[in-house]
Amino acid sequence: MILTTPILGVLALVARVSAAPSPDALLARAPPVQIKTLSATQIAPFLNKANAPFSPNSSLSARDSEEPSDRLTSRTIVGTDNRVLWPSPDYPYSAVGKLTFSSGPACTGTMIGRRHVATAKQCLPSLSSPWSARFAPSYYDGERLGGSNAIAVFIPNSLTPVGVCGYKEDWAIIVLADPIGDTATGWFGSKQINCTAQRNIANWFHTGWPADKGGNRPYRQEAITVTRCDECAPGGPLETDADVLAGQTGGPLWLWENGSRYLYGMASYGAVGRNYFASGPNFYGAIGAAYSAYP
């Protein structure tokens, strides 16, 4: 006797079998991320010779004392909100994505290598309890370019001064399980700002997933100005007039130079009328350390 199944039942079964797991399901399967701290000594071999070692300014200005009340929500719109919905999945927007964690709010990250993602240290849920994370490049109401789970993260150890000068060390480099940069996303180059030549010029870009606009679609801003960039030490933090709110934390401040895209900083903290981006020689040295440990 041949048993038959109604057509609708077959279609439903096929749909259940062939449907891709949801991002939440993929994140739930992810292993705990290994946290790896980097000291100045460990970073030193990878510093670009053109970049000075980090030496925090012990004399903090009035702005250095302005600590935000909530690190992930203390952001600001500077004047008119200039963020624009940006649905393009093409490079370089393919190399910027949404970071979700097993606990805590989402952030933004940027590919800076074949499986290396730059974001803000403050995005990490914990430095002592286990957690997992997933990166979805060019996320738009779902994973349209796929994604990859995190397996490790590099963060600074004993490098962070207090106040605004500490914002320059609010960086983290997440290592993904898969080298999605090779095929799906590409990645940004990275440079340290030349404060004399690149300050007060409205030519910078930022992309992120703002929570106040739903958190599921990317928004871009152009014509951003870096107004201060050397008050603590060479290279950062970068004070800007970018419009940054929760969800955009960790997102890139970048330039288009001679046809190539370069990351200069990651969205960190904000105050009235300005937002800061983490940047500086320690971050760029840490990129080399992450590449060496996880090619």
271-287 per-position pLDDT tens digit: 767 899 999 888 989 99
Among 9-18, 59-68, 203-212, which is the least confidently predicted range? Answer: 59-68
Residue 71 — very low, low, confident or very high, per pLDDT cuts 50/70/90?
very low
pLDDT digits (tens, 9 = 90+) for 86-107: 999 999 999 999 999 998 889 9
Spatial distance between the Cα atoms of 158 and 221, rounded to a whole number of angstroms: 33
**Concatenated DSSP letters of 221-284:** EEEE-EEE--SSBTTB-EEE---B-TT-TT-EEEEEETTEEEEEEEEEEEETTEEEEE-SHHHH
pTM strictly above 0.85: no
- Does the structure show a pLDDT above 80 at 152? yes
Bigger pLDDT: 232 or 8? 232
Task: Give pLDDT, residue 271.
Answer: 72
40-43 own/partner pairs: CB under 8 Å, 24+ apart: 40/158, 40/159, 40/282, 42/289, 43/282, 43/285, 43/286, 43/289
- pLDDT tens per residue, range 186-239: 999 998 899 889 999 999 999 999 999 999 999 999 999 999 987 787 778 999
